[in-house]
Amino acid sequence: NLNNRSYKSDDFTNLTPKIQSHIGRNLHNQKYHPLCLLKQQIVDHFYKKYIGRTGTPIFSVYDSLNPVVSIQQNFDSLLIPPDHVSRSKSDCYYINRKHLLRSHMTAHQTELIHMGLDSFLMLGDVYRRDEIDATHYPVFHQLDAVRLFHQQQLADLAQSEVKIFEGGNETEEKQAVHTLDATRIMEHQLKCTLVALVQALFGKDVELRWLNTYFPFTHPSWELEIKHQGDWLELLGCGITRHDILKAAGAGERIGWAFGIGLERLAMRLYDIPDIRLFWSRDSGFLRQFEVEDPFAPIKYKAVSIYPQCVNDLSFWLPDSSHFNSNDFYDLVRDIGGDMVEQIRLVDEFKHPKSGRKSHCYRIVYRHMERTLTQEEVNCVHSRIAAESTSKLGVTVR
């Protein structure tokens, strides 16, 4: 039962109790939470900067959309091919063959366009099976934005007559149905929008760069990186929305852009938060640091305390007959160890020269965010991980 609706499980079901416990927390709507402060900053920026002719904000905001979506919403409506890796059970949390926890906020894009909306922000929790370390967590939060233009709006931007559509071939610079002029105007408008957002968050002096990339649902597509503490950091992906998506949503006469940005990644840099698990902490020492009425108040996180790590290795032979995926092991560890587990790393792979059997060795780093762990309780959890890996994943502990 998820969000007051029952779903039948089947051979695709891989949703764990640990992941299920995060549904409904809605950190982005929790007052004084850093993700909520960041959301307020971004929404405030869009409300103030983009005003319509009637004096009201152009962009509408949707931040309470149901995280349970259909395969059609999450993949098919976005032209993601049936064999694309992002659909695999090793990447997503499936409720059954027809439903999953959304892996991106873009899953709601088509339905909102179909409702007649042309400029909107979508915020919410998204779910992806991933590695475990200080910057990755299987539940995180995204903000996606969409803006559509009809021909007269495009002409107003260009201050001259511009055609959106033509019959042609797709190139690296544009989609087959779009004119190059229309695409370049949209690219300029999109990039100016995003540069303004990044400067509003990080200051006018922020160093940034654009990289060409590929997404199934936009073309052309770009990634925006910013220079942070001497390193280039990927901040977001964006592009010109595929015309087939707009056509299927009833907006075939328009051209549009879209972007998606991870809120945790942004907040970690903005507030100097060192570990992504902290966002899920209920510890008052963490949350009180963000109790401000002004979401634009400069806040830098100060560590409440640094507790020591406990490091244990686990080596096992992989099963001979069945497919083994590291994400299955990560989920099992997360389910048993919870947020005691700070990081898991594959430190050694070995293939026996005679039998051909493969072995993995994982280093599991245990550290609680709020107290010191004893080696005894760590060993207890570690032993349980070893036992359940044997029974559920078919491995043989060495």
* pLDDT tens per residue, range 26-49: 999 999 999 999 999 999 999 999
pLDDT over 70 (residue 363): yes
Q: Measured between alpha carbons, how far is residue 195 from residues 147, 191, 205, 262, 266 in Å?
A: 16, 6, 11, 16, 14
What are the tokens at 372? Answer: 């010191």
The mean pLDDT of the chain is 91
pLDDT, residue 295, reads 93
- Number of neighbouring beta carbons within 10 Å of residue 261: 22
How far, in Å, CA of 137 to CA of 132, rounded? 6
| DSSP structure string for 129-174 | ----BTTB-SEEEEEEEEEEE-HHHHHHHHTS----B------SSS
DSSP class of residue 361 equals: E
Amino acid at 372: T
Q: Tell how far CA 157 is from the center of its chain.
A: 31
Please give the pLDDT value at position 77. Answer: 93
**What is the CA 390 to chain-centroid distance, rounded?**
31
Residues of the chain with pLDDT > 70, as a percent, come to 99
Render pLDDT for 284-316 as a digit per residue (tens, 0 to 9): 778 889 999 999 999 999 886 578 888 899 999
* Domain(s) of CATH 3.30.70.380: residues in the chain: 310-397
The Cβ-side half-sphere exposure at 347, using a 13 Å CA radius, reads 13
Q: What is the pLDDT of residues 74-126, one digit of tens each?
A: 999 999 999 898 999 989 999 999 999 999 999 999 999 999 999 999 999 99
| Cβ atoms 104, 142 nearer than 8 A | yes
- What is the dotted CATH code of the domain comprising 310-397? 3.30.70.380
Q: Identify the weakest region by mean pLDDT among 8-12, 34-38, 121-125, 342-346.
A: 342-346
pLDDT score of 229 more than 80 = no
The pLDDT of 54-64, averaged and rounded, is: 94
Given this model, what pLDDT does residue 332 score? 92
Give ranges for CATH 3.30.930.10 in the chain: 17-290
* pLDDT tens by residue, 230-280: 888 889 999 999 999 999 999 999 999 999 999 998 999 999 998 888 999
* Distance (Å, whole) CA 223 – CA 204: 19
Q: What percent of the chain has pLDDT over 90?
A: 67
Neighbouring residues of 1: CB distance < 8 A, sequence distance ≥ 6: 7
Contact assessment for residue 238 and residue 222, using Cβ atoms and an 8 Å cutoff: yes
Mean pLDDT of 341-349: 88
Cβ atoms < 10 Å from Cβ of 173: 12
Backbone angles phi, psi at 114, to 5 degrees: -60, -30
CB–CB of 151/127 below 8 Å?
no
CATH topology of domain 17-290: BirA Bifunctional Protein; domain 2 (3.30.930)
394 has a pLDDT exceeding 70: yes
* 143, 189, 349 from 257: Cα distances, Å: 14, 9, 44
Distance (Å, rounded) from C-alpha 181 to C-alpha 370? 56
Q: How far apart are CA 202 and CA 200, in angstroms?
A: 6
pLDDT at 132 exceeding the cut of 80: no
Contact yes or no for 21/93 (Cβ under 8 A): no
3-class secondary-structure state, position 40: helix
Report pLDDT for 5.
86
Q: Which range, of 38-52, 258-272, 365-379, 381-395, averages the lowest pLDDT?
A: 365-379
pLDDT at position 369 is 79
**Residues 240, 255 contacting (CB under 8 angstroms):** yes
pLDDT greater at residue 20 or residue 157 = 20
